[in-house]
Amino acid sequence: MAMHKISVTINGAVREAEVESRLLLVHLIREVFRMTGTHVGCDTSHCGACTVHLDGEPVKSCTVLAVQADGAKITTVEGLEQGGKLHAVQEGFTEKHGLQCGFCTPGMLMTTSALLVRNKNPSEQEIREAICGNLCRCTGYVNIVKAVQYAAEKMR
Amino acid sequence: MSEPRTDAKICGMGHSMKRKEDPRFIRGQGRYIDDHVLPGMLYMDIVRSPHAHARIKKIDTSKALKIPGVLAVIDGPTLAKYNLHWMPTLSSDTQMVLPIDEVMYQAQEVCAVIATERYIAADAVDAVEVDYEPLPVMVDPHKSLAPGAAILRKDKKDKKDNLAFHWEAGDKADAERALAASDVKVSEDIYLPRIHVASMETCGCIADFDTAQGKLTVYMTTQAPHAVRTVLALVAGHVGLSEEKIRIVSPDIGGGFGGKVPVYPGYVVAIAASVVIGKPVKWIEDRMENLQADSFARDYHMKVELGAKKDGTMTSLKIRTVADHGYTNASANPSKFPAGLFSICTGSYDLKHAFCEVDAAYTHKPPGGVAYRCSFRVTEAAHAIERATDALAQKLNMDPAELRMKNFIKPEQFPYKSVLGWEYDSGNYGVALKKAMDIIGYDALRREQAEKRKKGELMGIGISSFTEVVGAGPSRDFDILGIKMFDSAEIRVHPTGKAIARFGTKSQGQGHETTYAQIVAEELGIPAAHVQVEEGDTDTAPYGLGTYASRSTPTSGAACALAARKIRDKARKLAAHLLEVSENDLEWEPGKFSVKGAPQKSKTIQECAFAAYTNHPQGMEAGLEAVHYYDPPNLTFPFGSYICVVDIDRGTGDVKVRRFVAVDDCGNIINPMIVDGQIHGGLTQGIGPALYEEISYDDEGNISGGSFLDYYVPTSLETPKWETDKTTTPSPHHPFGAKGVGESATVGAPPAIANAVVDALRHLGVTHLDIPITPEKVWTILKNKGVAE
């Protein structure tokens, strides 16, 4: 299988890798770079556990090829905390009990942190629409909505 | 519940302490099974059957083995050499690990490939060529149990039918007599379809056999690590796996809900591969494998008959059930309860005559009957009685709330001995229902409904007043494969007054690291922040049967309190020694002993702990630690009343849950924030099966619902804004009056939603709808009744 040299900036650090054409971005992140905060929940882009930011936009990294990310800036859950300070959504999820098993949490954090960049004051319905591609089996979403509202308030 | 006894610094029971597990999860530093990598680790992937029933004529592995990086293909005959091709299920049935010549359900494991990389293993799965001869398929459990049906389990000598088991409770003749004598009777056929736990993390393991030490370590997604260790020792002892050389480690678990109790063939094949090859072998199933092959829940075909007097007094209940267990009974029910605790089916009502029976059928489907967030078959029981209660109200033209109030077991009847043999520990059902009615504004909603009905708008109000039975269980009645269902806690207090506590249970998101620390804090006054909680490693944790059936707080939580009390008793001796007074002269308040009448003379628990290692009295054993194995005297009986309001779109048949009020009573509460979270999640796993989730099969045994494209787990858009409240009726026999709450909402929510939809349609003559109540199902009714828009 053809191999490709790619270079990405992941959480601020430039990383290079030689990858197969078929390698998924999520496996580049998890298995090549060994950052395991990004999870695989379904392989079919339904659950959103693998959500990362690709050039600032949330994408489901199980449905992006690693080669498509060549030259891109990637942020994963490990990159949310800056200089020892948690991102407001990370704080919100803890404060409002927005997580239980924690498996969907990284994807939720990436989707909602992107939401708050484009909409600083989302309504409950806007939050629910933003996270409808991220499945959570534990929380029933009520506290996730509260967590995002907490973060929005904090960021204003 | 009253105000917390401890301050926020100690953070004992009643404080909504922020979770101790969150800092790692919000940073992506959780360590789930697939996050673990061991040196030299190989990857396993599984070839699965496309047929529901077929003979394997040939497995050609030659192309697969030519792929660089593919090391081996393991099939049934390979395992048969070690007599490991069959294994017992936790219900004492038998299950193929890998087949020799016949597959019994679609997606069954056929053989496994071992490779150096994940992608290469997947390539090898594609390259294995299997020649099948399709055989006749049995998908209908009723046909399977009919006389003359082809025998499915030909592996069982002398098996002459497809009955996995028959179980019954109560006096059949008495119940039938009472039913015949009742003034009013309702009879409904109620089907609870197959559903799947669909935890966000699938199942997997890394089996690591250390050839030099002869020690097997298995990191695996299990809710019951100790039970797995013992079962492995019992079934694989003949190949040299001895219990002291088996270590099961259950890492962070991404949701379990009962689906991670069974031992799936994949685990066993990975273990066999590691033992044979001598390297760590990782197996992680993908979502399709998870939904198609892992244990299913429900699949109960019930005929429910409920009789009453003219005034609405319920007199008699009879339920006959055919349960579809797939090709083997792989549920994990207590041995004496093959149909779980289904005989809780008299629910919250003072029924004097009742009988229930279950015939479990084998079919060509994956093993079913797993206890999905339902204690054991309590969801089925609650659905039966709560649906039948609404049907009775409809027939009597009586308000369903009034009918429930009339028939509730009265507070003064507790402890209440049910006709089917349970002793309900405590309850106050009317108060919970009244509270739910007040919060939702029941009377106003009924008026609104009447107005809307005049205008042709469809709105329904549904109630469910369920009683749960959890916390298995007392050793006199409860065991799994002979292992009694006690559970354990071990607490060690360090010299500086900090502690580590270990348990036989295993959290999958329930927040044990926080709540157990709060129990220690409550009992010892050591701040919860200073208590490290560990679970899941059988080399270090005390023995226990794990976390399912809402049993952690009723069993290990109780063990935690009692172990802490042993420590407090010893600390009292140390305090008396330090203060040079008699033990009897000391008073305890959380965190400190002081001399009666001279409160300025006191010693903190931390000072006592330090003395236990630095200044213990001669003759006293040094150290400050305790272990407790808690054998509960009874089960606990949480309850609640839920009210749901739905609006139905006449154009699409879509059911929208407008409001849902859940009033729960789980006794005394450790952490109110976590309890609410458990209820929110349970309710969401109630709306899923009520309106969306189902796994069904066509006549050839082909699964529908085998991916998240087809299996519709509720998203944030369908899920309403849950409204929760509580009443508090402590359990009289639990050390701190708790009952357990993890499953109440999954049990109570589906009938509330189903009742609401039927209520919206009852003026059209609808008396029952099977769940999931999909838009198509509703729209078809509306069309047939001529009211679709």
Mean pLDDT, to the nearest integer, of B135-160? 97
- Contact status of B257 with chain A (Cβ, < 8 Å): yes
Mean pLDDT, to the nearest integer, of B647-658? 98
Mean pLDDT, to the nearest integer, of B602-616? 98
Selecting among B203, B356, B374, B666, the annotated active-site residue is B374
Report pLDDT digits (tens) over B273-292.
999 999 999 999 999 999 99
Nearest to A90 among B26, B34, B119 (CB): B26
In a domain, B196, yes or no: no
In a domain, B292, yes or no: no
All residues at 6 or more sequence positions from B279 whose CB lies less than 8 Å from its CB, including other chains: B40, B41, B42
Q: A109 and A58, same structural domain?
A: no
In a domain, A115, yes or no: yes
Beta bridge pairs of residue B459: B647
Return the pLDDT at B240.
Answer: 86
Residue B368, CA distances (Å) to A47, B156, B213, B295, B298 in order: 24, 19, 38, 5, 8
Burial class of residue B537, CB neighbours in 10 A (0-12, 13-18, 19+): middle
Q: How far apart are CA B296 and CA B717, in angstroms?
A: 26
Return the pLDDT at B238.
Answer: 87
All residues at 6 or more sequence positions from B505 whose CB lies less than 8 Å from its CB, including other chains: B487, B512, B535, B544, B546, B547, B551, B552, B555, B556
Is residue B164 within 8 A of residue B152, CB to CB? The reply is no
Percent of chain B whose predicted confidence (pLDDT) is above 90: 98
pLDDT above 60: residue B23: yes
Report pLDDT digits (tens) over B557-592.
999 999 999 999 999 999 999 999 999 999 999 999
Q: A72 and A99, same structural domain?
A: no
For residue B328, give the CATH number of its domain.
3.30.365.10
Give the predicted TM-score (pTM) of the model: 0.98
All residues at 6 or more sequence positions from B412 whose CB lies less than 8 Å from its CB, including other chains: none
Kindly report the nearest CA distance between residue B578 and chain A, in angstroms.
Answer: 41
Percent of chain B whose predicted confidence (pLDDT) is above 70: 100
Instruction: Tell me, yes or no, if B373 is annotated catalytic.
Output: yes
Q: How far apart are CA B771 and CA B762, in angstroms?
A: 16
pLDDT above 90: residue B1: no
Which of the 8 DSSP states describes residue B752? H
Q: How far apart are CA A140 and CA B255, in angstroms?
A: 13
Q: A114 and A68, same structural domain?
A: no
Return the pLDDT at A115.
Answer: 98
Mean pLDDT, to the nearest integer, of B93-99? 97
Which residue range is the domain that position B312 belongs to?
297-472+634-784
Q: Which of A25, A52, A77 is the last residue of a domain?
A: A77
Q: B315 and B263, same structural domain?
A: no
Return the pLDDT at B399.
Answer: 98
Report pLDDT digits (tens) over B766-783.
999 999 999 999 999 999
pLDDT above 70: residue B639: yes
CB pairs under 8 A between A and B: 173
Q: B391 and B262, same structural domain?
A: no
pLDDT band at B368; cut points 50, 70, 90:
confident
Q: A106 and A40, same structural domain?
A: no
pLDDT above 60: residue B465: yes
Instruction: Tell me, yes or no, if B223 is annotated catalytic.
Output: yes
Q: B407 and B265, same structural domain?
A: no
Q: Which of A30, A57, A77 is the last residue of a domain?
A: A77
Selecting among B95, B106, B108, B223, the annotated active-site residue is B223
Question: How would you write the pLDDT of chain A (156 residues) with one tens digit per residue?
Answer: 799 999 999 999 999 999 999 999 999 999 999 999 999 999 899 999 999 999 999 999 999 999 999 999 999 999 999 999 999 999 999 999 999 999 999 999 999 999 999 999 999 999 999 999 999 999 999 999 999 999 999 999
Q: B775 and B685, same structural domain?
A: yes
Q: B539 and B393, same structural domain?
A: no
Do A103 and B257 make contact, defined as CB atoms within 8 angstroms? no
Q: What mean pLDDT, rounded, does chain B reach?
A: 97
For residue B113, give the CATH number of its domain.
3.90.1170.50
In a domain, B478, yes or no: no
pLDDT band at B388; cut points 50, 70, 90:
very high
Q: B640 and B600, same structural domain?
A: no
In a domain, B481, yes or no: no
Task: Report chain A residues whose CB lies below 8 A from the CB of B513.
Answer: none
Q: B642 and B626, same structural domain?
A: no
Return the pLDDT at B344.
Answer: 98
Return the pLDDT at B235.
Answer: 86
Do A20 and B119 make contact, defined as CB atoms within 8 angstroms? yes
Residue B762, CA distances (Å) to B52, B363, B781 in order: 40, 35, 11
In a domain, B289, yes or no: no
Task: Report chain B residues whose CB lies below 8 A from the CB of A40.
Answer: 34
The number of distinct structural domains making up chain B is: 3
Mean pLDDT, to the nearest integer, of B462-489? 96
Return the pLDDT at B237.
Answer: 87
Q: B415 and B313, same structural domain?
A: yes
Q: How far apart are CA B182 and CA B317, in angstroms?
A: 11
Kindly report the nearest CA distance between residue B554 and chain A, in angstroms.
Answer: 20
In a domain, A82, yes or no: no
In a domain, B425, yes or no: yes
> Which region holds residue B456: left if phi is over 0, alpha if psi is between -120 and 50, else beta?
left
> How is residue B36 written in tokens?
């673990």
pLDDT band at B353; cut points 50, 70, 90:
very high
Which chain B residue is nearest to residue A45, measuring alpha carbons?
Answer: B708
- Contact status of B29 with chain A (Cβ, < 8 Å): yes
**How many other CB atoms are found less than 10 A from the CB of residue B438?**
13
Q: A73 and A94, same structural domain?
A: no
Q: Which of B596, B630, B664 is the last residue of a domain?
A: B630
The number of distinct structural domains making up chain A is: 2
Residue B718: name the closest of B751, B695, B696, B685 by CA. B685
Q: B303 and B358, same structural domain?
A: yes
Return the pLDDT at B58.
Answer: 98
Q: A53 and A103, same structural domain?
A: no
Q: B430 and B376, same structural domain?
A: yes
Residue A88, CA distances (Å) to A35, A94, A99, A150, B80 in order: 21, 10, 15, 8, 56
Q: B638 and B624, same structural domain?
A: no
pLDDT band at B239; cut points 50, 70, 90:
confident
Tokens 């959504």, located at residue: A89
For residue A46, give the CATH number of its domain.
3.10.20.30
Helix (H, G, I), strand (E, B) or coil at B631: coil
Mutate to test the interface with A, among B25, B26, B673, B693 (most CBs of A within 10 A): B26
Return the pLDDT at B342.
Answer: 98
- Contact status of B685 with chain A (Cβ, < 8 Å): yes
For residue A104, give the CATH number of its domain.
1.10.150.120
Which residue range is the domain that position A108 belongs to?
88-155
Tokens 């004529």, located at residue: B57
Q: Which of A77, A105, A138 is the last residue of a domain?
A: A77
Do B722 and A136 make contact, defined as CB atoms within 8 angstroms? no
Mean pLDDT, to the nearest integer, of B615-629? 97
